[in-house]
Amino acid sequence: MSKKRKNKKLTPLADSLTAVYGAKEWGTQWHLFTLVHNWPKIAGSQFADRSMPARFQRDTLWVYVQDSVWMQQIQLCKMELLDKINKFLQKKQVVEDIRWELLPPWMRQEPVEEYVPPPINVDPAAERSFRQMAEIIEDKATREAFCNLWLHLESIKNAKE
């Protein structure tokens, strides 16, 4: 049941962590994290609002871009951006090329347009007449919903005329 231990020389923890980080490529992940965190300073706010570093693949940095128009625009500044990235990384990670990729759909933040209903524009006499007719509906909530539906439909009809 007892296992024989090999007498190994103790090694500093820092040496072991370096080996683990190197084997798992966590070092590149750390560089990617710092790039993402500092992307507005590196790429400029205009590009940073529409792009972000995605991953390293060997010595190539892949960057997500919002759409193909901005992809073309950033491509024109590729060499300048490459220089800024390498200066930022201080030779801890060398980037020889930048490639662009459209932002995946699940990461996109589409602008939400808030619905603004059209203004109610109904003849007050017609509204009174309709509300009197709707009095036969016993449930107050149902009656009010029915009247509101009529008001909106009548407003749309009046707006088209």
Q: CATH number of the domain that 75 lies in?
A: 3.30.300.180
Residues 21, 85, single domain; the answer is yes
Residue 67, Cα to own-chain centre: how many angstroms? 12
Let me know whether 97 and 129 are in one domain: no
Task: Give the span between the Cα atoms of 35 and 98, in whole angstroms.
Answer: 13
Number of domains in the chain: 2
Residues 95, 137 within the same domain: no
Q: What is the pLDDT of residues 74-86, one digit of tens each?
A: 999 999 999 999 9
Strand partners, 94: none
Range of the domain at 48: 14-107
Looking at the domain assignment, is residue 5 inside a domain? no
Dump pLDDT digits (tens) for 87-115.
Answer: 999 888 889 999 999 988 887 777 778 87
Could you tell me the CA-to-CA distances from 68 to 41, 60, 75 in Å, in that order? 23, 20, 10
Are both 74 and 148 inside the same structural domain? no
